[in-house]
Structure 1
Amino acid sequence: MKKSEYNVIGVMSGTSLDGIDLVAVKFQFNNSWDFKITHSETVSYSEEWYNTLKKLVTFSIEDLKKIDVDYTKYLAGIIKNFITKNTLENIDAVCSHGHTALHQPKKKLTYQIGNLPNLTSLLGEKVVCDFRVQDVELGGQGAPLVPIGDKLLFLDYDYCINLGGFANISTEVEDNRIAHDICPVNIVLNHYVSKLGFNYDDEGKIASTGKINQELLNQLNNLSFYKENYPKSLGLEWVNMHVFPLVDSFKLEVKDVLKTFVEHISFQIASEINKKSNATVLITGGGVYNTYLINSLKTYTEHVIVVPNNQIVEYKEALIFALLGVLRLRKQVNCLKSVTGATKDHSSGKIYLP
């Protein structure tokens, strides 16, 4: 008989490099899933790690393997400290996404660092991790993985959108959960605002002072990715190839880049959510603190936009990776073919025993 209650830790590091998100979660299953986040924390990256992770796509596989060893030790130390600091006991598993180093599903390649087997010996806990690899092997995009959690934990919303390094969306279409990346968000905004010495544009105040460059906006909206059908996903490589060179060719002031790109984000998100009428949209991720972006989006749609409490805003992805780990332990589907394009639904992730 399967357990109905689980105490797990969820660990997530996203492309926006805000840090490592950790949650301690109690899940209960009684015909449907309930959860309670008991502890949560984001550990910011050191400058050294921030700079290394920012350049991961430029390293050779050999170099990435060396970085992987160091990152796994670093991650283990952070998780261990989280466990000790919060006196967490009777942990069923640590469920960790790791950090994406390479993601080229068309080449059957995806690599998340921080998922080495020695993570379990360093922690002394059962570990469930490396959730993307099996999906890519099954012909899927290996992303996004969060929609199964949207389906099971946030079923009251017509759309779930996360604004992190990229905006991604999940929803039900003809009784199938579908999801895909929409467009870049913080990975671009933070890149340009860093030229002014800031890590991010606080509340979008700098963007709000800029001017929209209509020609750049048109060219961004005409990028071929936006015409592709789902399943589809984005990575830093795509941004490096298609977005940065295009934006840089206009030689605009940073505030004008930010304002134009916020308009681009709003347009692309609205293009997706306006496919339904009278919808309720849950928006989470660090991008919700960009007040200017949220207000810009509201001008493009009449839907009800819901920004939940800060804990869900900031830790929804870590929460859902915790759930993915629990589903894997239960040998239940945690990866949907309707989302990733894999040949079948499957239970994905490696289980390491201490």
Structure 2
Amino acid sequence: MVSTAIGVMSGTSLDGLDICYAQFEEKDSKWKFKIIKADTIPYSNAWENKLRNAIHLSAEELLELHSDYGFFLGETIKNFITKKSLQKIDLIASHGHTVFHRPSKKFTLQIGDGRAIKIVNQIPVIYDFRSQDVLLGGNGAPLVPIGDHHLFSAYDACINLGGFSNISLLKNGERIAFDICPVNIVLNHFALQLGKKYDEKGNIAQQGTINNIVLEKLNQLPFYQKLHPKSLGIEWCNAEIFPLLNKLSSEDALATITEHAALQISNIFNQFQVKKVLFTGGGSYNNFLIEKITAKTTSEIIIPDSLTIDFKEALIFAFMGVLRQNNINNVLSSTTGSKYDHCTGVIA
């Protein structure tokens, strides 16, 4: 079986829209993939502000944004298809942009109506990948481990350094996964205060001073004592992280959260005795953070090519769409905590 799909991912760090066109082939129950074309489309200031402030909108305003953002996604994908001269596309799989994530209350919301994407492109669209898992008692996250399991099984673990860091790995033959700690969602916040979209290579953090009192409070947050599966959202950062870091200068906040992330990530590697780990996501370019993690663990850290770093999540959502279209389970209960493995995604 050979399928081609476009995966579309908007991360919590709001650094742009990742679009990945890939081919997937299944042979003897093993999957292979090839990233054919990919691009990151930066958000305009207007769209970045709309998405950043979506959490504060009224219900009516949020529904309007859900529709508008769906058409924006549709047009952006259409431009990508034209620009890259793509011909055969079996489906588009869209993650949408997360506004609310409250699995304990049985809801999560990713805006960007998939039906609008379908109207613009006239290609089957699969969207809303998280809600069913939350209704089944799961965290609705992380979902990417299904791709790690089928496409990146050569590594003992895969870690994504995006808005949050999350990991998937095999434990006693079973795939487990969970969010570790915040990364870019906090780093970008304090970089913005200094007029930068992000802290390039961790250079600003390197100039700051770690506040050990705040660092200790961060490391003692109850989330880090919880057993997996577990996941994080912006609400948790607003309640637990920013009140501690806002007392510091932006430079010292960057230095402190970088040290905190390096400690939490290396702790997990050491706890699970990870030998070989694949790093992807924008945080993989943060040399200062990578150096700090490397110094705290014996795990072999693999930084792949830039296509894999930048588009692995979009690639895996495309893969999840292919699985959904073929009625194959695309969510692992062992990683999300839901009642059972299941096949999810709304088809437009």
TM-score range, shorter chain: over 0.9
Mean Cα displacement is larger for which, 272-281 or 312-321?
272-281
Equivalent pairs, count: 347
Amino acid at match of 1:125: I
Amino acid at match of 1:230: H
Name the counterpart of 1:44: 42
Residue-by-residue CA offset, 1:223-248 (whole Å, 9 max, x unaligned): 11111111111011111111111111
Indicate if the aligned counterparts of 1:56 and 1:102 stay in contact, CA closer than 8 A. no
What RMSD in Å do the two structures reach over aligned CA positions?
1.0
2:161 aligned residue (151, 163, 185): 163
Name the counterpart of 2:339: 343
Give the Cα–Cα distance (whole angstroms) in 1 for the partners of residues 326 and 266 of structure 2: 37
Amino acid at match of 2:134: V
Amino acid at match of 1:342: S
Name the counterpart of 2:79: 81
1:319 aligned residue (315, 326, 329): 315
Query: After superposition, where does 1:54-69 map in structure 2 within 5 Å?
Result: 54-69=52-67
Name the counterpart of 1:5: 2
Name the counterpart of 2:286: 290
Name the counterpart of 2:214: 216
SS at 2:342's partner residue? coil
Indicate if the aligned counterparts of 2:55 and 2:99 stay in contact, CA closer than 8 A. yes
SS at 2:271's partner residue? coil
Give the Cα–Cα distance (whole angstroms) in 2 for the partners of residues 278 and 225 of structure 1: 21
Give the Cα–Cα distance (whole angstroms) in 1 for the partners of residues 156 and 345 of structure 2: 28
Give the Cα–Cα distance (whole angstroms) in 1 for the partners of residues 111 and 328 of structure 2: 25
2:136 aligned residue (135, 138, 147): 138
C-alpha displacement at 1:278, in angstroms? Answer: 6.0
Indicate if the aligned counterparts of 1:12 and 1:96 stay in contact, CA closer than 8 A. yes
1:30 corresponds to 2:35: no
Name the counterpart of 1:149: 147
Residues 1:343 and 1:276: Cα distance change in structure 2 (over 3 Å): closer
Name the counterpart of 2:117: 119
Query: After superposition, where does 1:252-267 map in structure 2 within 5 Å?
Result: 252-267=248-263
Give the Cα–Cα distance (whole angstroms) in 1 for the partners of residues 278 and 216 of structure 2: 28
SS at 2:99's partner residue? strand
C-alpha displacement at 1:119, in angstroms? Answer: 2.1
Name the counterpart of 2:306: 310
SS at 1:182's partner residue? strand
Indicate if the aligned counterparts of 2:70 and 2:115 stay in contact, CA closer than 8 A. no
C-alpha displacement at 1:122, in angstroms? Answer: 1.5
SS at 1:87's partner residue? coil
C-alpha displacement at 1:174, in angstroms? Answer: 1.5
C-alpha displacement at 1:62, in angstroms? Answer: 2.4
Name the counterpart of 2:185: 187
1:177 corresponds to 2:180: no
Unaligned runs of 5+ in 1: none
C-alpha displacement at 1:104, in angstroms? Answer: 0.5
Give the Cα–Cα distance (whole angstroms) in 2 for the partners of residues 64 and 103 of structure 1: 15
TM-score norm. by structure 1 comes to 0.96
SS at 2:177's partner residue? strand
SS at 1:338's partner residue? helix
2:13 aligned residue (13, 16, 24): 16
Residue-by-residue CA offset, 1:253-310 (whole Å, 9 max, x unaligned): 2211111111000000011111233600111000011100000111110110000000
Residue-by-residue CA offset, 1:63-109 (whole Å, 9 max, x unaligned): 21111011001110100001111111121001111111111111111
Give the Cα–Cα distance (whole angstroms) in 2 for the partners of residues 277 and 267 of structure 1: 15
Give the Cα–Cα distance (whole angstroms) in 1 for the partners of residues 35 and 125 of structure 2: 19
C-alpha displacement at 1:220, in angstroms? Answer: 0.3
Give the Cα–Cα distance (whole angstroms) in 1 for the partners of residues 346 and 72 of structure 2: 20
Residue-by-residue CA offset, 1:103-131 (whole Å, 9 max, x unaligned): 11111111111134232122110111111
Residue-by-residue CA offset, 1:183-210 (whole Å, 9 max, x unaligned): 0000001101111100011111111111
Give the Cα–Cα distance (whole angstroms) in 1 for the partners of residues 79 and 187 of structure 2: 32
Give the Cα–Cα distance (whole angstroms) in 1 for the partners of residues 114 and 146 of structure 2: 25
Indicate if the aligned counterparts of 1:108 and 1:136 stay in contact, CA closer than 8 A. yes
Residues 1:278 and 1:197: Cα distance change in structure 2 (over 3 Å): closer
C-alpha displacement at 1:340, in angstroms? Answer: 0.7
